[in-house]
A and B are shown apart, each in its own frame.
Chain A
Amino acid sequence: MDKALELENLSKTYKIGFRKAGRRAVVDVSLSIPAGKVFGLLGPNGAGKTTTIKMALGFLKPDSGQVRIFGEPNGPKARARIGFLPEQPYFYPHLTAGAALDFYGKLFGLKRAERIERTKLLLDTVGLSDAVKLPLSKFSKGMLQRFGIAQALVNNPDLLIVDEPASGLDPIGQVEMRRLLAALNAEGKSILLSSHYLSEVENICHEVAIMNKGTVIARGDIGKLLDAGDVYTVKAKSLPKTWRPVKSVVKKGHINGIANLIVGKDDLDRLIDGIRSAGGHIEDVRKVTKTLEELFIELVGANANGGSHDAN
């Protein structure tokens, strides 16, 4: 499969003052973002996500390792296919949204007619059509973030790199951002998305890598990473008080007359049969998955003991 972005064994140590030993921000990170997919780079603040992205884009020179963008080394030609939304983006405050997009269009060498068309289309896409003539200094945080996305899409990029796009957005803004990214991916764009809000990426990423303290501690298919094994929860109501489930069931609770039962796959059928023959009604059966938060706590805990997790 074609790769949108390949990072091979990237390492970066920030020099601090004149001291020799600096801060090891990224240690031997390799990532491969398949074309057409949404790739989530997850991890707490300070994990090294931004540093990794900055190396990918050439803002920082890696101490070692390689970057390839659609198979090519970073250069003007490769960057012409990228859109980037920095963490906490900042734009020339005195420019209007329209003028700023026009400026960024020029940096891509777009012709005037193209720039006019893109500006209109993009401000529409991110819901800022009414703000074409408004200086960016008058934009709210949420509007700036949306403008940032528009700016990253000026060149209709094949690869979109967004660093913490939801930070500073209200819950509705976060949902909108997620929808927008999903829609862009549906158009065929590859997306590298970094986040420390784990729930942000759960629903839109095809693949994730989880970073902590500069290294990747888990990676792979998000469904597999979140799979807790073959465990199910069963909710049932109208069960007689005297009813007792099969031995292997962990009876979790009893809320408002609904029993919440957890069972292994082998006993699932038997449990359901038992509930129904006792006159109970099945309300819900679902496979247990961890939340990313749970996974993360588990991994960071394991990582402290030198463990690593691979879902592929």
Chain B
Amino acid sequence: MQIRAIAANVIKEAIRQKIIYVIVLFTFLLFAIEPAIPSFKVGLRTQLFGDIALGVAYLAIAVIAIAISVNQVPKEIERRTIYNIFSKPVRRADFLVGKYLGVLVMLAICASLMGLAIFGFIYIYFGKVAYGIFQGVGMMLLEAALISAFATLVSTLVSPTINVFACILFYFVGHVKNDALANAIKAGGSTSALGLALKYTLPSLENFNVSEVVARGIILKTDFMLGLLLYTLVFIVIFLTIASFSLSRKEL
């Protein structure tokens, strides 16, 4: 019940802060993307549009994930509302899980709404039923969940500003393609030991990047999706475990 109450509070606060406006903005953006697509055959245009729109949605959900995750814990500490929570029978780990689940619900709502917007747009403007979009939504949600868990962990250690930079770094390191990395190593150039260490300890976010595939109407294999779900869960559990350890040791 405590976890649920804390999560519900996160959702209330996010709704109050009008996170939903980002979705409205996103929908308007779709109208700007459409005319920019070159006039190929309809099928190709639909694919291209779906790919680009999903790509923008991936970025948008990552930004939303970072924006709402970095502040959850620090704000409670800074405003001292945390004293009214941990003086009650709430474990620090439960508090973190509640916060995280609240953020997750918000992200799921945002991702679904963006998916619906793309789906609707394709249906109306291109006359196609692109169910694949929703697989993209699932994958972008997994990625956002992972980013959010990372942001939650870092939020127990540093200020929100530094956290944003850490998240951006996490995002880019995660999106370095394996072949790009291989090339960099071969070239012996600027890839430092630290970069390599980061690359192999942090999860690869490039795995989630299926927008091009699903836009082409290819249905993702269940094995692939389950595998990715498991991969994500493992990292989330690791991040949140370290986070609650770190929060437990924190002096308030």
Q: Which residues of A are interface residues toward B (Cβ below 8 A)?
A: 54, 57-61, 76-77, 79-80, 82, 84, 86, 88-92, 94, 103-104, 106-109, 151, 155, 161
Contacts and interface: CB of A to CB of B under 8 A. Distances in A.
Interface of B: 1-2, 4-6, 9, 12-13, 16, 79-81, 83-91, 249, 251-252
A80 B87 CA distance: 9
Contacts of A61: 249, 251
Contact of B89 (A88, A94, A108): A108
A79 B9 contact: no
A61 B159 CA distance: 22
23 contacts: A54-B252, A57-B86, A58-B86, A59-B83, A60-B251, A61-B251, A76-B89, A76-B90, A77-B89, A79-B89, A84-B83, A88-B80, A89-B84, A90-B80, A92-B81, A104-B84, A106-B5, A107-B85, A107-B88, A107-B89, A107-B90, A108-B89, A109-B89
A86 B252 contact: no
Given A106-B2, A106-B5, A86 B88 contact: no
A89 B91 contact: no
Contacts of B1: 106, 109
A115 B115 CA distance: 39
A101 to B, nearest CB: 11
B18 to A, nearest CB: 13
Contact of B80 (A80, A82, A86, A108): A86
A88 to B, nearest CB: 7
A79 B89 CA distance: 5
Given A80-B89, A106-B2, A109-B1, A94 B84 contact: no
Nearest to B87: A84
Nearest to B94: A76
B91 A76 contact: yes
Contacts of A104: 84, 88
Given A86-B87, A89-B84, A92-B9, 11 more contacts: A57-B86, A58-B86, A59-B87, A82-B87, A88-B80, A92-B13, A107-B85, A108-B88, A109-B2, A155-B88, A161-B87
